Chains A and B, each alone.
Chain A
């Protein structure tokens, strides 16, 4: 590598002039740098740097001034810049007598790093700009039309023969009590009017592989046995001699083996249920009845391959299997139904034409019980709240009230959850005179203990407000069952499918980046992300579309998506030295790395989020970024002065995201801390390579501190497991310490939140004190 031309600029404003600037200039010019200038207001006069770059052909600039977190615009140039934080982390946070050696070390570290910095350049990728949307429910449909209307090509894949998903099977929406068909109709029209959306119904995504901008999608088209030219005249149904349980109606009632899924089915086309059709036994009654030759019983499944640039997973939910809740009598008593069944029962196109009657005998419903949290908020079943059931039951109770104004309606609940503006809906519902009883239903039986209870279902519940156990006889029971995510998704990556949270929903950073899965370019939206109502699903769809569009655009320009969006750098592997240990491919939080048969990593740059976890993992140190290499940090470590006397020297790796800003904030608040500590910012604790620790300790540095984000279930690491991995690697560190015969207490890992800045002086000073107790590193001076 030829000698690089580096310019050093020292700002003397903001109190930095408390330092011996001449000495700093002297130190800088001891290095083979092209020039070193000082300025009392460098951010204002940044032009001088720009001019030097041009005039002197500089390869890199060292800005020794304020924190790299401020004045970023002023100090960004056409060459790589290394910022030396003399303000927040030196003069603002240390007493005058101690700051000089600290500043000198930082300047040296900065220059040595700058000498190795290479310019990062983005490569424009050729990408496929199609968005694949898996699931044609309300979320998928919304996502499809929003993306298409934003100018993107869309593939929409739905496994049922119709679009609309669960919503198409509902009677009404809360809070407006309007029919879903209305909103669906508009969306279907948007689909029909768009030439950008390709809809595949009765189709399943079998596999997704590849990477953002270049996904390979395998779709299986299941046979419907009915061709597009079906006019939906219905003659086939009259002719068909075989029946099937009506899945659309959740098993309430039956249809013929050839059927139209719903009155406003889209596409409006009949379909054959292969499980119940007796075509294999030679039946062709429907074919004979069809005047338009629209039925082809010989149709087979087709597998097609497609390309996509990003993916939205909107596979939605299924109702919790109520038969698992043994005490509530579902399946044992036909008049115990679920909330989704109730929607069908009340729907004009449902099994009873919208009349709410007892499934067992078709009798009117005089007394009805809605059992909330049927399996929800229950560690034996679904530990979470499904967010919609309270509102849904209140809505369904009004269905009953509408048909039977005298009906007695009981709603058994633990907490009624109707947040935000839904409170009004709750009040309106209450004004209809429902009996709300606070208590989770313990048992439903038909064991009568009085004449009043005969022929009824008896709900046994502790009325927790009254403090009494009650038996309430009713005609029918509706179980408010919760949502189970449809989380089967075959992602053909080294680490398997899309990571799920502990409940089975596709995991995301719950607050900061809700739609992001841990797989770049794949976004989850709607109820597969978390339980939500229709309005939220629609919002989710739009959000996920935005993210998937961003992904396409950033990927095209060769940049990272969040959180390092705009970063061109990506890890480079010097594979000749790879030992196939597979640590990088196993530890990559985003499964960006695949493996060949031998176990050599294969990078998918567009999946990569540039956290550097692979680089921290690699024992052979063969992974580097253009602006972040093992060697760069190692040379910075070599520049740290190691006092031979009693004074301690500590090297601290601070995560850029939380710990480093916290340190800046300590400076901003003029909190003083030990000047024995030298800070090196890192992308993530996951990118800390053990070799740095070994280097530092063998140079005689007394202790190493790693400061990262909170790990565990409520992790705060934006690269998911930085601190966790650092913690795991501490075992290797302990081995290193053992080998060097050093005390394990010399290396410490802490979790620091950005708001913890007040704790910093204590943390750092205590660590230095601990080290003083242990005594100096015996390698000092070697």
Chain B
């Protein structure tokens, strides 16, 4: 049941764009190329967002889809952030093209598997939903679930935080910080499904909506006052996309939560003798404008020397993991020798830092991989901001 013709594809594409906020703005594209120049894959792609708009205008969508360019997007938001016409490229132009590939039935295999797994199991790893809260057994204190009663903070570890071997460490670290701070927190446990931002950005809008509905339903089981999440993409989705579906609780990125509790934490801090640099993750920094909170937290740890990389804040380079990028590794490798994460860890290492602090869960596997690829393993270590904080209060 493939789409019959290019004009039918165009129609589907336009319909999707019309449902996306400011989707119609593509008509105002100046063809200035800011997007292409800003794109981490601009040099290798056949279709920069600018050219994608041209392809849509010229109705040569087939050629665009065949090039695979739509999958070379890490949703880093640089193009959208800088676009002088404020066209929703990351949220519209690209995922709408991806959706066409999905409808054609031929997205990159690795990503397709992740999406199908998410549809069936609520996580991309093909893990049992029953194991989603298994990390709880690995900490030595009790963690309640929202289904059992109300809480102040609802803690969302999201898929990577719940299942991924390395990322689970971040989840546990954050849980321990909550515990040490005496925060009244709960998790959704087995009720939590993938929050879905990568599905949305991959063009799997239907799946995203279903996940949103399920998660909102799970959140209605008992009252809580706000959400804290260690996953930057979940953070963004819960804060900016979920409200469209009737969800209205405040959502904090864990770096904001740490900054908020900084005075208490300061009393608990002991000295750490590290040189630390900080990577502004796309969905914490550029996308949501949180630049100071993580820096304030790092700087507050006694003994830590904070150094900046060359590209920071609005201009930070993406790790390459977002927008499904973490599932497109082998696809992207065909296009590019050095991946963004490798370029980024080199930049981090050049600062002379021992620790590269991140605030997005995807950064961890991406950067740890990149350290192996670049031979920088051992020279610099990747840590989430809460892991650093936990180390300082231990």
Binding site for B on A (CB under 8 A): 326-327, 373, 377-381, 414-415, 438-443, 445-447, 460-464, 467-469
Name which residue of chain B comes closest to A441, CB basis. Answer: B37
Chain B residues with Cβ below 8 Å from A326 are: 313-315
Contacts between chains A and B (CB distance < 8 A), count: 83
* Chain B residues closer than 8 Å to A443, beta-carbon distance: 37-38, 315
Q: B30: which of A381, A414, A445 is its contact (CB, 8 Å)?
A: A414
Of the candidates B30, B51, B314, the one having the most CB atoms from chain A within 10 angstroms of its own CB is B30
The residues of A that contact B288 with a CB separation of less than 8 Å are none
* CB atoms of A469 and B42 under 8 A apart: yes
Known: A327-B82, A373-B32. 4 other contacts (CB 8 A): A442-B42, A445-B310, A462-B34, A469-B39
Whether the pair B33, A464 counts as a contact (CB closer than 8 A) is yes
Q: Which of B32, B36, B82, B315 gathers the greatest number of chain A CB atoms within 10 Å?
A: B32
Binding site for A on B (CB under 8 A): 30-39, 42-43, 48, 50-51, 78, 82-86, 310-311, 313-315, 347
Query: Is there contact, CB below 8 Å, between A379 and B33?
Result: no
- Majority DSSP secondary structure for residues of A touching B: loop
Question: Could you say which of B78, B82, B83 has the most chain A C-beta atoms within 10 Å of its C-beta?
Answer: B82
With A377-B84, A380-B82 as known contacts, state yes or no: A440 contacts B311, CB within 8 Å.
Answer: no
Bound CA span A446–B315, Å: 13
Q: Which of B42, B84, B86, B314 has the most CB of A within 10 A?
A: B84
**In the complex, are the beta carbons of A462 and B50 less than 8 A apart?**
yes
Interchain CA distance A373-B39 in the complex, whole Å: 19
Q: Is the CB of B84 within 8 A of A380?
A: yes
Q: Which residues of A contact B315 (CB under 8 A)?
A: 326-327, 443, 445
With A373-B84, A377-B84 as contacts: A327 and B38 at CB distance below 8 Å: yes
Q: A38 to B313: give the CA distance in the assembly, Å.
A: 84
Cβ-defined partner of B50 (8 Å) among A380, A381, A464 = A464
Do B33 and A440 touch across chains, with their CB atoms under 8 A apart? yes
Q: Are B38 and A439 in contact (CB under 8 A)?
A: no
A440 touching B310, Cβ below 8 Å: no
Q: Given the interface contacts A373-B84, A414-B30, A462-B42, does A440 sit within 8 Å of B37 by beta carbon?
A: yes
Q: Are A440 and B34 in contact (CB under 8 A)?
A: yes
Q: Decide if A442 touches B30 in the complex (CB within 8 Å).
A: no
The CA of A288 and the CA of B48, in the complex, are separated in Å by: 67
Q: Are A460 and B30 in contact (CB under 8 A)?
A: no
- A468: B residues at CB distance < 8 A: 43
Cα A464 to Cα B29 in complex, Å, equals 13
What 4 A-B pairs are tightest by C-beta distance, nearest first?
A442-B37, A462-B36, A462-B33, A378-B84
Task: Report the Cα distance A439→B32, complex, angstroms.
Answer: 5
Q: Which of A445, A464, A467 contacts B311 (CB 8 A)?
A: A445
- A381, A447, A461: the one contacting B37 at CB < 8 Å is A461
- Residues of chain A contacted by B34 (CB below 8 angstroms): 440-442, 462
Q: How far is the CA of A461 from the CA of B313 in the complex (A)?
A: 20
Contact across chains for A462 and B35 when beta carbons are under 8 A apart: yes
CB closest residue in chain A, given B310: A447
In the bound complex, residues from chain A placing their C-beta under 8 Å from that of B84 are: 373, 377-381, 440
Q: How far apart sit A177 and B332, CA to CA, in the bound complex (Å)?
A: 52
A-B contacts, 20 listed (Cβ < 8 Å): A326-B314, A327-B315, A377-B30, A377-B84, A379-B86, A380-B86, A415-B30, A439-B33, A439-B36, A440-B33, A440-B84, A442-B82, A446-B310, A460-B42, A461-B33, A461-B37, A462-B33, A462-B36, A462-B48, A463-B33
Q: How far is the CB of A776 from chain B (nearest CB, A)?
A: 45
Among candidates A379, A441, A461, A462, residue contacting B85 with C-beta atoms closer than 8 Å: A379
Q: How far is the CB of A481 from chain B (nearest CB, A)?
A: 14
- The distance from the CB of A265 to the nearest CB of chain B, in whole angstroms, is 38
- In Å, the complex CA distance between A39 and B61 comes to 74
Tell me how far the C-beta of B36 lies from the nearest C-beta in chain A, rounded to whole angstroms.
3
Give the distance in Å from the alpha carbon of A377 to the alpha carbon of B30 in the complex.
9
Task: Determine the chain B residues whose CB is within 8 A of the CB of A379 once the complex forms.
Answer: 84-86
B38 and A464 form a contact (CB under 8 A): no
Given the interface pairs A445-B310, A460-B37, A462-B37, the reply to whether A469 lies near B32 with Cβ below 8 Å is no
Identify the closest chain B residue to A442 (Cβ). Answer: B37
Q: How far is the CB of A486 from chain B (nearest CB, A)?
A: 24
